[in-house]
Copies of this chain bind each other. A is one copy, B any other.
Amino acid sequence: MVTERSDVTQILAEIFREHGYAGASLSEITNRTGLGKGSLYHLFPDGKEGMARAVLFEVADWFEENVFMPMRAPDNPDGGIDHMFTEVLRFFDTGRRTCLMGAFALDDARDRFPSEIQAYFLDWTRMLATALRRSGFEKNAAREAAEEVVAGIQGALVLARSLGDPAIFVRAIKRLRKRTGLDQQV
């Protein structure tokens, strides 16, 4: 059996990504996890909302560890930014996977987890902006470029999913990576 909370969270993330919050039914959750309601409500006493919250937390945690932390290294900011693109590409399965935060942002879940969603995007843009500054960007240019990159990633995920063409995401990453290069910073 699954039994481990982190394993369950992984599956839950996948389900929420596919169906959004409202569309993720408990019946599908019990099916895909193989867990009865008893175990499920033992692991997540707050029910569906608790499950979603756990998933959101896990995603935020993953980004903190794998993207933000490396980006904070005061020396070698370019390395941190490059690393971000690599990890993001991997995280979204080269464009095959959708963004949970983005899905929730356009869904019922927005009203349920506004602060979590906001924090995710705020952290991301801020981290990237400061890294860009340290990499030589002027203050406003850094802020704007960070916004462009994060939005570009989200949009490319939407487009890739809509057209069923992950290559769109790969192209976007390449483009945005170039965008953060020092040649266009002004």
* A82-113 near B? 1/0 per residue, CB < 8 Å: 00000000000000001101110111101000
Q: How many residues of chain A have a CB within 8 Å of chain B?
A: 42
A19 touches B154 (CB 8 A): no
In angstroms, Cα B19 to Cα A171, docked, is: 31
Bound CA–CA A114/B161 (angstroms): 10
Q: Find chain B residues with CB under 8 A from A155 CB.
A: 150-156, 158
Would you call A162 and B20 a contact (CB within 8 A)?
Answer: no
Q: Which residues in chain A, 23-38, are within 8 Å of chain B measured between CB atoms? A: 23
A101 (CB) vs chain B CBs: closest residue: B162
Contact of A158 among B19, B22, B122, B154 (CB under 8 A): B154
